[in-house]
Amino acid sequence: MVFPPVRRLGPDDLPACVALALDRGWLPEEHKWALLLRAAEGYGVDAPDGGLAGAVVLARYGTTLASVGMMLVAARFGRRGLGRALLAHLLNVAGDATVFLTATTYGRPLYEKLGFRTVGRSATFTGRFHQKARRPATRPAVREDLPAVIDIDTAAFGADRGPFLRELPEFTTQLRVLETEGRITGYAGAWPNGNITVIGPVIALDAAGARLLISDLAATVAGPLRLDLDPDRDELPAWARAHGLRHAAETAFMVHGTWPPPGRRDQIYAPITVALS
């Protein structure tokens, strides 16, 4: 079967992306797809019988770092080279940037074939967060906080992800900042994914700051939460378990290119979404 060339996806492709996700048993995640198609670069291959045969999203952070997410090929077109073609296209577009992603066990063989190596793990914790009522230690972010938020984020992340951070006031249902001696030293957001509230990003100088941000966000969420953490740093996973969250899934953190990048990655406690960074 001959497929058309890879093409750039835009916001109009949202229904086709959702249909592709459903085809693979993933959640529809419209809110997240809409952000990715708006702020990142979606690429896809049209199916001969309508809709998309495959899709993937590349997010670029300046010229040095990029991430890959939402790698999907419709089941009926699997194992025909489409995944490889989409990923090869992305690596070409990313140029010299270090590219990273979190891989399910299904994606890992493909990524390894194209030169990605595993440098860590990401664990998904889900459930209702139980805690005693307490006074918030953080405050809601206001628009004027954005430059300071971008500054501390760039110092931690090692590249400018401003285009994504500027989307956060609209994308998140809550965005909070932590102040230490009148200076913003951490921030975190929460956003809706179907009936689950995802907590991310979480950036803080230390685990104590991250815990305050997460607790304050969780305090107003009645339903289930999702929090993606590094299971090899136990400061937060053990605490998350103690508050009722359970380890639901695990992915491999994989990299193509030089690693680690500059920046204080130990200050990144949770990604915006595992589909981004």
Ligand X SMILES: CC(C)(COP(=O)(O)OP(=O)(O)OC[C@H]1O[C@@H](n2cnc3c(N)ncnc32)[C@H](O)[C@@H]1OP(=O)(O)O)[C@@H](O)C(=O)NCCC(=O)NCCS
Contact yes or no for 119/259 (Cβ under 8 A): yes
Which of 78, 169, 224, 244 is close enough to bind ligand X by CB under 6 A? 78
Helix residue ranges per DSSP H, the chain: 14-23, 30-39, 82-94, 108-113, 146-157, 162-165, 168-171, 207-218, 237-242
Nearest to 267 by CA among 207, 216, 222, 217: 207
Interface with ligand X, residue 76, by CB under 6 A: no
C-alpha 264/C-alpha 206 separation (Å) is: 11
Interface with ligand X, residue 24, by CB under 6 A: yes
User: Applying CB under 6 A, which part among 29-37, 43-51, 77-85, 119-127 lies near ligand X?
Assistant: 77-85
Whichever of 56 and 65 has its CB closer to ligand X, that residue is 56
Contact yes or no for 92/59 (Cβ under 8 A): no
Interface with ligand X, residue 16, by CB under 6 A: no
Taking CA atoms, 165 is separated from 217, 247, 273, in Å, by: 18, 27, 12
Q: Residues 6 or more apart from 127 whose CB is under 8 A from it?
A: 224, 225, 244, 245, 246
User: Applying CB under 6 A, which part among 107-115, 129-137, 138-146, 217-225 lies near ligand X?
Assistant: 107-115
User: Applying CB under 6 A, which part among 66-74, 154-162, 197-205, 262-270 lies near ligand X?
Assistant: 66-74
Interface with ligand X, residue 80, by CB under 6 A: yes
Interface with ligand X, residue 254, by CB under 6 A: no
Interface with ligand X, residue 82, by CB under 6 A: yes
Interface with ligand X, residue 113, by CB under 6 A: yes
C-alpha 149/C-alpha 171 separation (Å) is: 15
In whole angstroms, how close is the CB of 168 to ligand X at the nearest point? 24
Which of 8, 48, 88, 106 is close enough to bind ligand X by CB under 6 A? 106
Which of 42, 44, 107, 186 is close enough to bind ligand X by CB under 6 A? 107
C-alpha 219/C-alpha 92 separation (Å) is: 44
Q: How many residues bind ligand X (CB under 6 A)?
A: 18
Contact yes or no for 190/223 (Cβ under 8 A): no
Query: Token pair of 170, please?
Result: 């609209």
In whole angstroms, how close is the CB of 20 to ligand X at the nearest point? 8
Whichever of 168 and 276 has its CB closer to ligand X, that residue is 276
Q: Which residues bind ligand X (CB under 6 A)?
A: 24, 71-73, 78-84, 103-104, 106-107, 109-110, 113
